[in-house]
Amino acid sequence: MASRDPSDIAVDKLTEAQARAELMRLALEIGAADRRYYQEDAPTLTDAEYDELRKRNAAIEARFPALVRADSPSKRVGAAPARGFRKVRHAVPMLSLDNAFADQDVTDFVGRIRRFLKLSDDEPIVFSAEPKIDGLSMSLRYENGALVTAATRGDGAEGEDVTANIRTLEDVPQRLKGKNIPPVCEVRGEVYMTKSAFLKLNQQQAKEGGQIFANPRNSAAGSLRQKDPRVTASRPLGFFAYAWGEMSELPEDTQSGMIRWFERCGFRTNPLTKICRSADELIAFHARIGDERAGLDYDIDGVVYKVDRIDWQQRLGFVSRSPRWAIAHKFPAERATTVLRDIEIQIGRTGALTPVGKLEPVGVGGVIVQNVTLHNEDYIRGVGGHGEELREGRDLRLGDTVVIQRAGDVIPQVVDVVIDKRPKTAKPYKFPTHCPCPLKTPVVREETSTGEEGARSRCTGEFACPFQKTEHLRLFVSRRAFDIDGLGEKQIALFFEKRWVEEPADIFTLEKKHRKELLAEEGFGEVSVRNLFAAIDARREIALERFIYALGIRHVGETTALQLARAYGSWKAFHDAGLKIAKGDAEAAAEMDAIDQIGDTVVEAVRAYFKEKHNLRIVENLTGEVTVIDAEKPKKDSPVAGKTVVFTGSLEKMTRDEAKAMAERLGAKAAGSVSKKTDYVVAGPGAGSKLTEAQKLGVKVLSEDEWLKLTS
């Protein structure tokens, strides 16, 4: 008798061998269907047929759990997040909030505002206190009352266009209700999924063999990043409005007024929002919401306090990426106890050896944690100076029971070791003396100049070390650098292995040199390859700050890159300065040193970078492929625009940081040291060497009052 095709046999009748064959067939078929649907936009199955396949796969796996394949569709992101959402530049950047943890931080926040605005102690400050929703922030742009774009936060400057998906949310009106709606309104708020909807969705996903989400926030994110809006529509997402971006007119003059206005326009706003009039009232609000937190059907990770008067918000302005008029008062981090099983060494882009703790998986704050960073050798040895929270003097050994903590999005940390539970046989950990890279070069210990992070261990393989090369490429394509859709860590690893991409410029010649070979690779269809090259081409023009960050100069993180970009304005100016510094030009070095928040460490790192011929070649090759866009210049219409100012001595009407921020807002450069290029030195009582230097160089010296008069 001819054997029956197993695909015709009911699940409960399958033998083990038939089940195994069926699972293989289903993995292949569902995989192919996913590819056609998500990457090639050319589905060949109806939704019902596709669902049938997934259901059958899940049912067979439920009956034969031992046969579940490593490549089973039930393990894969069922609805693979679609690539290639269009990028949207926010008309007004989407910023983040500073955090307060202790009550004292709240009192300080209120004190800072009082001082900044020069309010007397009896002048009341009204705050809008709101729960901090743990979802995804969203900017909704309405033109002439109609929703035109919905964009995710992205990196704050540029997000992703998810308009089609957002239109499926009941809480988001397609048209703003009411009269006299300003022609341009950007309404901002949080997209979230309720806890109950999240649990239900996961149950359903498990049944159908779809993706299981770690927490409501992830499931909201996954539900939004769908190529097919019908999938988003099937997910219960909510939206609370709480802020705004570009507004051609402001209909109200307070935060609480704006919230009421959002309601009149047809939005939902958070019902727990409350007006508070003092630090004590804010702290009491935090405590009350903390008590109610577990009973709410949506996740919150703190409360947000905002100065209610918008004119005061405007006067208070921003410090770096956060407003001075608002703060997030977080709830304490959640902790859990688990066992440290192993320590793995990872090699960073600059050759630093970073130990990663491998934990017995444990749930904390709604996610499963298996890895923790252990910073460096000194941290593991329990010797001070690392600035982390591990209790002073305690070392970490394999088999130790450790307390870990996770706060919001922060990478989990080990905060304590339970010495009583240490296995008797546990020995102190021996940090490797040689790099685990194929070169096996000796590791050197390097003391950081700040001493904050303790000693770093570094591989001496430099540019020959393949780990370092790939790490740099990874940084290069990362979200805050070139951010190329479809070119992530996985692809970079593959291209590197094939030796198609060994340095950044190779990414831009990939199409010319390796298109055919790429098409022959598994998982790279015509459409996905076309999309990848389009995404690469879209980045042939790149903002200066991203470009500088992407170079991977040591100590030049995103914020420093932004400072450098703003200060130099163009790639040419920065490049020239780097070359001069490398040649030992003291003036060029002093000029960089004088940029606010930039000191010796960065200048030294820039010097080291530009001294290295290999780097210069990489940069030259890269600039042959991409065009770097000049940085935006700060405001030009203030009397101090373009001037360089140094604050010294104690200021009486504002703090030093506030003074610097104010100068920057007005387009001036706040520098840390006095040079010939300084235009003003603002000196308060107790000014010392900077004042003397200014007098020596003939730089104009102002009192705090004179400065305020000049700038008001």
- Give the footprint of ligand IVH on this chain (CB under 6 A): 95-97, 130, 132-133, 137, 153, 190, 242-243, 304, 323, 326, 328
Q: Is 322 helix (H, G, I), strand (E, B) or coil?
A: strand
Please give the backbone phi and psi of residue 91, each rounded to the nearest 5 degrees, phi first.
-65, -40
159 or 173: CB nearest ligand IVH: 159
Please give the backbone phi and psi of residue 452, each rounded to the nearest 5 degrees, phi first.
-65, -40
The answer to whether 172 touches 233, Cβ cutoff 8 Å, is: no
Give the shortest CB-245-to-ligand IVH separation in angstroms. 10
133 or 166: CB nearest ligand IVH: 133
132 or 456: CB nearest ligand IVH: 132
The answer to whether 262 touches 187, Cβ cutoff 8 Å, is: yes
Provide the token pair at 463: 């540019």
Give the shortest CB-272-to-ligand IVH separation in angstroms. 10
Give the shortest CB-675-to-ligand IVH separation in angstroms. 35
DSSP 429: P
190 or 664: CB nearest ligand IVH: 190
Residue nearest ligand IVH by beta-carbon distance? 137
Instruction: Report, as residue numbers or ranges, the catalytic residues.
Output: 132
The answer to whether 556 touches 608, Cβ cutoff 8 Å, is: no
100 or 606: CB nearest ligand IVH: 100
Q: Which residue has the tokens 């940069």?
A: 619
The answer to whether 663 touches 682, Cβ cutoff 8 Å, is: no
Cα(29)–Cα(24) distance, rounded to whole angstroms? 9
Give the shortest CB-274-to-ligand IVH separation in angstroms. 12
220 or 414: CB nearest ligand IVH: 220
The answer to whether 407 touches 487, Cβ cutoff 8 Å, is: no
Q: Is 647 helix (H, G, I), strand (E, B) or coil?
A: strand
Indicate the Cα dihedral angle 53, 58, 64, 70, nearest 10°.
90
Give the shortest CB-192-to-ligand IVH separation in angstroms. 9
150 or 687: CB nearest ligand IVH: 150
Provide the token pair at 42: 């050319």
Provide the token pair at 130: 């709101």
Give the shortest CB-513-to-ligand IVH separation in angstroms. 41
Question: Other C-beta atoms within 10 Å of 447: how many?
Answer: 12
The answer to whether 82 touches 39, Cβ cutoff 8 Å, is: no
The answer to whether 341 touches 467, Cβ cutoff 8 Å, is: no
Chain centre distance of CA 390 = 25
Q: Is 242 helix (H, G, I), strand (E, B) or coil?
A: strand
Give the shortest CB-479-to-ligand IVH separation in angstroms. 15
**Contacts (Cβ under 8 Å, ≥6 apart) of 363:** 336, 369
